[in-house]
Amino acid sequence: MADLNASWTVPDAGDPPDLEKAAALRRMREGFIRMQMEHQFAADEVLTKVSILR
**Is 27 a domain residue?**
yes
Provide the pLDDT for residue 17: 77
**Is 10 a domain residue?**
no
**Is 39 a domain residue?**
yes
Provide the pLDDT for residue 33: 94
Query: Residue-wise over 16-28: b if at least 16 C-beta within 10 A, else e?
Result: eeeeeeeeeeeee
**Is 4 a domain residue?**
no
Compute the distance between CA of residue 3 and CA of residue 20 in angstroms, rounded to an integer.
10
pLDDT digits (tens, 9 = 90+) for 1-45: 555 556 666 667 677 778 899 999 999 999 999 999 889 988 999
**Is 7 a domain residue?**
no
**Is 54 a domain residue?**
yes
What residue numbers bound the domain in which 42 lies? 19-54
- Fill in the DSSP letter of residue 4: T
- For the chain, what is the domain count? 1
**Is 40 a domain residue?**
yes
DSSP string, 6-40: TS--PPPTTSPP-HHHHHHHHHHHHHHHHHHHHHH
Q: What is the pTM of this model?
A: 0.50
